């Protein structure tokens, strides 16, 4: 079987100018980055804002296995299926982070015959957005430490600096560091740490901003430290909101690329789905909705995590809610939820599929509770058996929900035609969307609602630290913000080993972190890793480039 990169390199790309024309964009509307990438200036959105808004399909999934269930692949393949049916369609995806690409993943732009191209560029530096965010994030840190060094006029407590530096790499040795060593000419010594860039609040800010103006306002509000009197210190307070916005003036423009079948794709922004909300940028999705009749987008991890945050956080900025939701499942993952050991997932086990269905069922009901119609996409693997598929199909249909066997990895858009057919009638109806919670309710009520109604938990406990932080948040007038849950992606609960559809469990909120620029309060339910490490044999060991510039080892 061909690897993803071999399939990608064998594909013939269409010049991006022609891809742009498919959705009515002329050469003058776009900024080329090489022959196969372009940025869309923000005035494109203005120019087309009177276009009728397209229909929005959100692709999410059950609680995944570590390998992921193929959400991006289904998203891309589904778009190509709509394109094959003659629909004017666009994909709106997240940008991959280089750290995991060099570490474990090797690549993250769909897979098989459902990929976005040029996959090498998208997986590496792309158009530089993430590098701009790294730079902006670290410039704030440098200005902050310079303020400490230059007499500390803002009375910043060096023990209470929240803002960390970032790199777009997996680098565990930077998780906990001390900086400012070497005497008085070299800054003020303090504890510090590095996150991966996609965990930076700036990434979340960029993805939720609705204009350059909004971006600057949000950046100014980011809380980076506390004073000795515990009052918050913001980016605005240190006087660099303008400079930081300037550093992001190009990063905020959505990136246009194409799927392997030539469907226009906007790939823009990629915040972590645990510590942040895990969706591509509002501006990209907004733009796609004005350019295409159908837009397919995805949210990180499962429907309980990225899905919930898409609906309760992103849509409030997007001013558009999904017309349909696709929940991606694999038999492998369902069997895992059914109690099968990781090493036995390729063996037929109908009973385990039936037991694991409990996970899918709760996700279906959760999405339906928002008032959005649901279709299940079974992302097919070679090891799937007819009998297992029949069990799953029956159980899903018993809920009155349609299920589609998708084979987009092996067949591209053709393998998603059935899914597109099942979605099409839903797009004719107006979904009766309603939020899970109102912003005006208290922080604890909002978290309670998520835990009891989405996770199926019984009760929320708050640590003493979280209680203190809740008071500070209320005192600062931030209590009306939505909640960004930071929990494991593997379980509905805060315990990765509680698979399927656990009940009666309690959840402990360890910390509440105000992300005022992003505009949400992070509720930390466990040790969330914000700087991954490298494995013993990093994927990079196999990466190479020929003398002619051809890349190998991305996969």
Q: Show contacts with its own copies in window 499-538 (CB under 8 A).
A: 533-534, 536, 538
- 71 annotated as belonging to a binding site for a ligand: yes
- Chain positions 61 to 100 lying near its own copies, rule: CB under 8 A, are 98
Cα(500)–Cα(396) distance, integer angstroms: 15
Cα(330)–Cα(346) distance, integer angstroms: 11
List Cα–Cα distances, 374 to 54, 72, 118, 378, 526, in angstroms.
18, 17, 31, 13, 30
24 versus 180: smaller Cβ distance to its own copies = 180
Q: Which residue in 18, 67, 142, 421 binds its own copies (CB under 8 A)?
A: 142
Q: Which residue in 12, 343, 497, 547 binds its own copies (CB under 8 A)?
A: 547
Measured between its terminal Cα atoms, the distance across the chain in Å is: 12
Cα(347)–Cα(341) distance, integer angstroms: 10
Residue 34 within binding range of its own copies, rule CB under 8 A: yes
Residue 143 within binding range of its own copies, rule CB under 8 A: yes
Cα(515)–Cα(201) distance, integer angstroms: 7
The full length of the chain comes to 555
Look at residues 273, 300, 287, 380 and name the one whose alpha carbon lies nearest to residue 58. 300
Q: Which residue in 47, 85, 88, 149 binds its own copies (CB under 8 A)?
A: 149
What is the DSSP secondary-structure string of 77-115?
HHHHHHHHTT--EEEEEPPPPHHHIIIIIS--SEETTEE
129 versus 312: smaller Cβ distance to its own copies = 129
Cα(545)–Cα(117) distance, integer angstroms: 18
Residue 139 within binding range of its own copies, rule CB under 8 A: yes
Cα(363)–Cα(299) distance, integer angstroms: 14
Residue 138 within binding range of its own copies, rule CB under 8 A: yes
- 67 annotated as belonging to a binding site for a ligand: yes
- 552 annotated as belonging to a binding site for a ligand: no
Closest contact distance (angstroms) between CB of 97 and its own copies is 12
Q: Which two tokens stand for residue 179?
A: 């900086």
186 versus 442: smaller Cβ distance to its own copies = 186
Residue 46 within binding range of its own copies, rule CB under 8 A: no
Q: Which residue in 29, 157, 168, 323 binds its own copies (CB under 8 A)?
A: 168
Closest contact distance (angstroms) between CB of 37 and its own copies is 10
Cα(103)–Cα(117) distance, integer angstroms: 21
53 versus 250: smaller Cβ distance to its own copies = 250
247 versus 313: smaller Cβ distance to its own copies = 247
Burial class (CB in 10 A: 0-12, 13-18, 19+), 43: exposed
Cα(331)–Cα(345) distance, integer angstroms: 8
List Cα–Cα distances, 45 to 48, 295, 307, 404, 442, in angstroms.
5, 15, 25, 34, 35
Q: Is residue 512 left, alpha or beta, with left meaning phi > 0 and alpha meaning psi from -120 to 50?
A: beta
Closest contact distance (angstroms) between CB of 431 and its own copies is 33
Residue 342 within binding range of its own copies, rule CB under 8 A: no
Burial class (CB in 10 A: 0-12, 13-18, 19+), 385: middle
Residue 541 within binding range of its own copies, rule CB under 8 A: yes
Q: Where are the alpha helices (DSSP H) in 372-433?
A: 386-398, 408-411, 417-428
Look at residues 292, 253, 298 and name the one whose alpha carbon lies nearest to residue 109. 298
Closest contact distance (angstroms) between CB of 205 and its own copies is 15
Closest contact distance (angstroms) between CB of 196 and its own copies is 11
Segment near its own copies (CB under 8 A), from 2-10, 34-42, 340-348, 385-393? 34-42
- 526 annotated as belonging to a binding site for a ligand: no
Segment near its own copies (CB under 8 A), from 35-43, 332-340, 434-442, 518-526? 35-43
Q: Quote the crossing angle between the two packed helices 71-84 and 417-428, to the nearest 10°.
A: 80
- 72 annotated as belonging to a binding site for a ligand: yes
Residue 172 within binding range of its own copies, rule CB under 8 A: yes
225 versus 447: smaller Cβ distance to its own copies = 225
Phi, psi dihedral angles at 512 (to 5 degrees): -120, 115
Say which residues have a Cβ less than 8 Å from residue 244's Cβ, sequence separation at least 6.
136, 139, 140, 202, 219, 235
Q: Which residue in 104, 154, 162, 177 binds its own copies (CB under 8 A)?
A: 177
Q: Which residue in 19, 62, 116, 169 binds its own copies (CB under 8 A)?
A: 169
Measure the CA angle with vertex 270, ends 266 and 271; round to 5°: 150
Residue 15 within binding range of its own copies, rule CB under 8 A: no
- 69 annotated as belonging to a binding site for a ligand: yes
Residue 135 within binding range of its own copies, rule CB under 8 A: yes
| Residues 241-260, mask of contacts with its own copies (x by CB under 8 A) | -xx-xxx-xx----------
229 versus 548: smaller Cβ distance to its own copies = 548
- Chain positions 207 to 246 lying near its own copies, rule: CB under 8 A, are 211-213, 216, 239-240, 242-243, 245-246
187 versus 496: smaller Cβ distance to its own copies = 187
Closest contact distance (angstroms) between CB of 530 and its own copies is 12
Closest contact distance (angstroms) between CB of 304 and its own copies is 27
For its own copies (CB under 8 A), the number of binding residues is 76
Segment near its own copies (CB under 8 A), from 55-63, 176-184, 361-369, 493-501? 176-184
Q: Which residue in 131, 160, 231, 350 binds its own copies (CB under 8 A)?
A: 131
Which residues does the annotation place in the binding site for ATP?
Answer: 65-72
């Amino acid at each position: 079987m061909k690897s993803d990169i071999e399939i990608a390199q064998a594909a013939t790309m269409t010049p991006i100018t022609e891809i742009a024309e498919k959705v009515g964009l002329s050469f003058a509307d776009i900024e080329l980055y090489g022959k196969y990438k372009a940025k869309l200036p923000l005035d494109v959105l203005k120019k087309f804002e009177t276009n009728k808004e397209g229909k929005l399909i959100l692709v999410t999934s059950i609680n995944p296995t570590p390998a992921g269930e193929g959400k991006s692949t289904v998203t891309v393949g589904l778009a190509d299926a709509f394109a094959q049916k003659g629909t004017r369609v666009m994909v709106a995806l997240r940008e991959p982070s280089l750290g995991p690409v060099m570490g474990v993943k090797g690549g993250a732009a769909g897979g098989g015959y459902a990929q976005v191209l040029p996959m090498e560029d998208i997986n590496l530096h792309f158009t530089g957005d993430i590098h701009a965010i790294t730079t902006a994030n670290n410039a704030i840190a440098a200005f902050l430490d310079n303020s400490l060094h230059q007499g500390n006029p803002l009375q910043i407590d060096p023990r209470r600096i929240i803002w960390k530096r970032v790199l777009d790499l997996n680098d565990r040795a930077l998780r906990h560091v001390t900086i400012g060593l070497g005497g008085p000419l070299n800054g003020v010594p303090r504890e510090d740490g590095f996150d991966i860039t996609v965990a930076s609040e700036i990434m979340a800010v960029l993805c939720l901003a609705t204009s350059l103006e909004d971006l600057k306002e949000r950046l100014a509000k980011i809380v980076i430290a506390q004073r000795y009197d515990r009052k918050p210190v913001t980016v605005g307070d240190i006087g660099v909101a303008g400079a930081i916005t300037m550093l992001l003036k190009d990063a905020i423009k959505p990136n246009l690329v194409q799927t392997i079948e030539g469907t226009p794709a906007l790939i823009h922004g990629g915040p972590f789905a645990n510590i942040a909300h895990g969706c591509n940028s509002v501006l990209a999705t907004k733009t796609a909705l004005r350019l295409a009749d159908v837009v397919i987008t995805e949210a990180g991890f499962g429907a309980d995590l990225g899905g919930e945050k898409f609906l309760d956080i992103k849509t409030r900025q997007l001013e558009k809610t999904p017309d349909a939701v696709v929940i991606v499942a694999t038999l492998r993952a369902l069997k895992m939820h059914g109690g099968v050991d990781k090493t036995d997932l390729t063996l037929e086990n109908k009973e385990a599929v039936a037991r694991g269905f409990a996970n899918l069922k709760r996700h279906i009901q959760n999405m339906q509770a928002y008032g959005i119609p649901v279709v299940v996409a079974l992302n097919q693997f070679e090891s799937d058996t007819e009998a297992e598929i029949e069990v799953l199909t029956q159980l899903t249909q018993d809920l009155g929900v349609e299920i589609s066997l998708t084979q987009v990895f092996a067949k591209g858009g053709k393998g998603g035609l059935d899914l597109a057919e099942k979605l099409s009638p839903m797009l004719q109806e107006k979904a009766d969307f309603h939020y899970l919670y109102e912003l005006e309710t208290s922080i604890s009520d909002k978290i309670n609602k998520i835990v009891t109604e989405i996770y199926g938990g019984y009760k929320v406990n708050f640590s003493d630290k979280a209680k203190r932080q809740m008071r500070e948040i209320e005192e600062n007038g931030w209590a009306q913000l939505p909640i960004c849950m930071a929990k494991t992606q593997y379980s509905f609960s805060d315990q990765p080993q509680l698979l399927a559809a656990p009940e009666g469990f309690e959840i402990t909120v360890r910390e509440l972190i105000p992300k005022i620029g992003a505009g949400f309060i992070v509720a930390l339910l466990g040790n969330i890793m914000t700087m991954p490490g490298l494995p013993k044999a990093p994927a990079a060991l196999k990466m190479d480039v020929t003398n002619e510039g051809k890349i190998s080892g991305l996969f």
